[in-house]
Structure 1
Amino acid sequence: MVRADARENRARILEVARQALAEDGGTSMNQIAQRAGVGPGTLYRNYPTREALVLAVYQLDLDRLIDAVPAYLESHPPVEALRGWTTELVDAMRRKHGLGDALSPGLHQSITERSYGPVIGAITRLLDAGKAAGAIRPDADPRDFLQLTGALWRAAALPEDRSQPMLDLILDGLTAGTGRRTP
């Protein structure tokens, strides 16, 4: 069983690392330990490599995102739940790609593989709620939706953030009509 102070140290390290790496992907492990108020030994005992720390930071974001789906569905109509959750997904994708120097190609691939299934599951749950309510087209596919969100995080990084207008277009397409269109 992990002691309470050890859990608090891990949580503080992850939050500090999340912020520090988002600001500067080159932030050193020692700088993160210092900002978290722990010794380097504590940091390295919990996260023996930089990649382990970066992966834990991303996993924290992913877990929070996946865990937020029920709350969105409880507090918003299905399309608005999808909108709010997707905005958070875009922010998480932007943070992941903003880590830049902190992500090796292998770690980037590992993160993608690790996150794909849970993210598709969350999108499926949101789309299914909308389909059940008659608010989202029955042919909406979570894989297609995830592909489209890739353009949203890039649009959010532009000098004029275009992610919300683009999300409006995507959602309009998901809510238009009742089924597959024929040419």
Structure 2
Amino acid sequence: MSVYDGKHTGHVSASVQGDSVQGGGARRADAQRNRERILQAARDLVHEPGELKLNAVAKACGIGQGTLYRHFPTREDLLAEVYRREVDELVAAAGRLLATHQPLDALAAWFDRVAAYARVKRDVFAAIEAATWRDLAAHSLGPIGEAVEVLLAAGRLAGTVRADAEARDVIVLISWLSRLDDAELDARGPRLLSILVDGLRAHR
């Protein structure tokens, strides 16, 4: 049989195609890893004094600046995505905590996660344009409010959260955390959140 026979050629093509698919999958996985490293480095560095520099982010995660720019063309794009990811993780935490904790305990544990979110929100919003952070805040309010309502509804059903507690009440109260500096957040944050949990507790 000739190596140019259609059947033989098809076999070679399938093999090459399989290698190409595997190679593409590896490249996508590598690109996703780079993206996660960039976001984590930016999350850490935005907390440092001074303006966040993209070259510092690239250096911190050991990639070239070209790779960083392919993922995030501008500093504002990067910081906006840092905030969006923080919101996504905060929202997802509500369901995970309810799966392993009693409703009121899940709410208290979620508030601990809120304190970390508040630091990121404060630092990111201080580093980006006002129009951008207003847009980010407007789009995140709905998902965060829904996560709060999931936690409150579980507590109301269990009889451990007061019946008149509303998600909007909680959002208003926890929003103040992002206005505190690190010293105040460390000193007052846990106590404030404990007071909030006690205020949401159903009176028996």
Report the TM-score, using the length of structure 1 for normalisation: 0.88
Total equivalences in the alignment = 178
CA offsets 1:7-55 (integer angstroms, 9 cap, x no match):
1111111111111112235121111111111111111111111111001
Contact 1:136 1:175 in 2 (8 A): yes
- Does the CA contact (< 8 Å) of 2:148 and 2:167 recur in 1? yes
Higher helix residue share:
2
Displacement of 1:84:
0.9
Rg: which structure is higher?
2
Q: Which amino acid aligns with 1:151?
A: W
Does the aligned pair in 1 maintain the 2:86–2:120 contact within 8 Å? no
- Which residue among 137, 145, 149 is the counterpart of 2:170? 145
Which one is further off, 23-32 or 65-74?
23-32
Letter in 1 for 2:62: G
Name the counterpart of 1:28.
53
Counterpart Cα distance in 1 of 2:164 and 2:152: 10
Identity of aligned residues (%): 37
| TM alignment of 1:126-165, pairs within 5 A | 126-154=151-179, 157-159=182-184, 161-165=187-191
CA 1:155–1:29 in structure 2 vs 1: closer, same or farther (change >3 Å)? closer
> Are residues 1:43 and 2:75 paired?
no
Residues in 2 aligned to 1:149 and 1:75: alpha-carbon distance in whole angstroms: 23
Over 3 Å counting, the alpha-carbon distance change for 1:100 and 1:70 in structure 2 is: closer
Report the AA paired with residue 103 of structure 1. I
Structure 1 residues 135-144 or 89-98, which shifts more? 89-98
Q: From 120, 124, 147, give the equivalent of 1:99.
A: 124
Q: What RMSD, in angstroms, separates the aligned Cα atoms of the two structures?
A: 1.9
Runs of 5+ unmatched residues, structure 1: 179-183
Aligned AA (2:69): Y
Matches within 5 A, 1:43-62: 43-62=68-87
Deviation at 1:57, TM superposition (A): 0.7
Structure 2: tracts of 5 or more residues without a match? 1-24
Deviates most, 12-21 or 145-154: 145-154
Report the equivalent of 1:174.
Answer: 200
- C-alpha change, 1:58 and 1:25, in structure 2 (3 Å) is farther
Q: Which moved more, 1:135-144 or 1:156-165?
A: 156-165
Q: Where does residue 97 of structure 2 map in the other structure?
A: 72
